[in-house]
């Protein structure tokens, strides 16, 4: 058993160390993470400069790139063997609903999934690393279950969000769908020391579609949320509508 572990908070993040500790004894572990915090970088790959990989004193590898770069480089040349599982996290903060499109944590796992390897992304719902050990226990439980009883759908991509609670490992786990968020808060405008306007991207919007069955609903009600993700963005239901629109609106 070989595990590849990555994250988006950077190689020094407590959540990465916690996930690695949680996986002790499960197999050989390779760790590759961004040199700096790369949250919100989604699936970006660095194409305009070369990447350098380094090894930290604890054996973790780090790369001056994005989470997707890390897993991509790991799978295509940095390491000599293909992992059986790609893990990402544990992220500081939720990755639910629309967050998953921006998330570097999900992207690192998705990169493994795109290479045909089962992958799991783990996030704590709240920032601040409270009860990280409990979240790591949850991760261990999910990973052990996946290894003990391999899902028939392969590869798979699971997005796991864990409430920051001391009893996280005792919470029920629910399989969920992604909720939706409201549009983001307005940009924050400030003046820099030279008197020029600068902009900070505003906070994510609050949950909008957070009903029963969603990731938002599950974590708000004291459950661990496990959302199976896919990559195909096609609006399959809408394809026939668009076909008839194209036909009927065509110029005579
Ligand atoms: Mn992050």
Q: What is the pLDDT of residues 106-153, one digit of tens each?
A: 999 999 999 999 999 999 999 999 999 999 999 999 999 999 999 999
pLDDT tens readout for residues 64-108: 999 999 999 999 999 999 999 999 999 999 999 999 999 999 999
Q: How far is the CA of 174 from the centre of ligand 1 (A)?
A: 23
Q: How far is the CA of 15 from the centre of ligand 1 (A)?
A: 10
Q: How far is the CA of 222 from the centre of ligand 1 (A)?
A: 22
Average pLDDT score over residue span 49-54: 98
Q: How far is the CA of 105 from the centre of ligand 1 (A)?
A: 6
- Model confidence at 252: pLDDT above 80: no
Q: How far is the CA of 69 from the centre of ligand 1 (A)?
A: 15
Q: How far is the CA of 96 from the centre of ligand 1 (A)?
A: 12
Q: How far is the CA of 231 from the centre of ligand 1 (A)?
A: 20
Q: How far is the CA of 103 from the centre of ligand 1 (A)?
A: 7
Q: How far is the CA of 123 from the centre of ligand 1 (A)?
A: 8
- Model confidence at 250: pLDDT above 90: no
- Model confidence at 231: pLDDT above 80: yes
Confidence at 249, pLDDT banded by 50, 70, 90? confident
Q: How far is the CA of 90 from the centre of ligand 1 (A)?
A: 8
Q: How far is the CA of 53 from the centre of ligand 1 (A)?
A: 20
Characterize the bridge pairing of strands 119-124 and 157-162: parallel
Query: What distance in Å separates the CA atoms of residue 242 and residue 234, rounded to the nearest whole number?
Result: 12
Among 14-18, 116-120, 152-156, which stretch is predicted with the lowest mean pLDDT?
152-156
Q: How far is the CA of 99 from the centre of ligand 1 (A)?
A: 11
Beta-bridge partners for 199: 189
Residue 69 is predicted with a pLDDT of 98
Average pLDDT score over residue span 166-176: 98
Tokens 């760790």, residue? 31
Q: Which fold has domain 2-179+208-250?
A: Stationary-phase Survival Protein Sure Homolog; Chain: A, (3.40.1210)
Closest by alpha carbon to 97, among 231, 235, 205? Answer: 205
Average pLDDT score over residue span 51-71: 98
Q: How far is the CA of 13 from the centre of ligand 1 (A)?
A: 9
Residue 31 is predicted with a pLDDT of 98
CA 153 to chain centre: 19
Question: Could you give the strand order of the β-sheet that contains 173-175, starting from the edge strand earlier in sequence?
Answer: 53-55, 61-63, 28-34, 2-6, 85-92, 119-124, 157-162, 224-228, 173-175
Residue 52, both tokens: 């350098």
- Model confidence at 183: pLDDT above 90: no
Residue 180 is predicted with a pLDDT of 94
Q: How far is the CA of 200 from the centre of ligand 1 (A)?
A: 17
**Where exactly are the structural domains of the chain?**
2-179+208-250
Q: How far is the CA of 14 from the centre of ligand 1 (A)?
A: 11
Closest by alpha carbon to 41, among 106, 94, 119? Answer: 106
- Model confidence at 46: pLDDT above 90: yes
Q: How far is the CA of 7 from the centre of ligand 1 (A)?
A: 7
Q: How far is the CA of 75 from the centre of ligand 1 (A)?
A: 21
pLDDT tens readout for residues 202-216: 998 888 899 999 999
Query: What distance in Å separates the CA atoms of residue 134 and residue 168, rounded to the nearest whole number?
Result: 5
Q: How far is the CA of 104 from the centre of ligand 1 (A)?
A: 6
């Amino acid at each position: 058993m070989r595990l590849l572990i990555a994250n988006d908070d950077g190689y020094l993040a407590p959540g990465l160390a916690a996930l690695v500790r949680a996986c002790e004894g499960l197999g050989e572990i390779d760790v590759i993470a961004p040199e700096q915090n790369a949250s919100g970088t989604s699936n970006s790959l660095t194409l305009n400069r070369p990447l350098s990989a380094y090894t930290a004193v604890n054996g973790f590898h780090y790369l001056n790139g994005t989470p997707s770069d890390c897993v991509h480089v790991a799978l295509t040349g940095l390491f000599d063997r293909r992992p059986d599982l790609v893990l990402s996290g544990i992220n500081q903060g939720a990755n639910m609903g629309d967050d998953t499109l921006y998330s570097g944590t999900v992207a690192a796992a998705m990169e493994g999934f795109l290479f045909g390897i089962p992958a799991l992304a783990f996030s704590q719902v709240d920032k601040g690393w409270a009860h990280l050990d409990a979240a790591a226990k949850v991760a261990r439980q999910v990973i052990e279950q996946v290894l003990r009883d391999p899902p028939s759908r392969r590869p798979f991509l699971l997005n796991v969000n864990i409430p920051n609670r001391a009893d996280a490992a005792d919470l029920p786990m629910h399989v969920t769908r992604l909720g939706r968020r409201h549009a983001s808060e307005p940009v924050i405008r400030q003046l820099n020391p030279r008197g020029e306007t600068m902009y900070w991207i505003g906070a994510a919007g609050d949950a909008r579609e957070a009903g029963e069955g969603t990731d938002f609903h599950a974590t708000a009600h004291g459950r661990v949320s496990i959302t199976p993700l896919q990559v195909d963005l096609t609006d399959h239901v809408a394809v026939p509508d668009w076909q008839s629109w194209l036909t009927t609106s065509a110029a005579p």
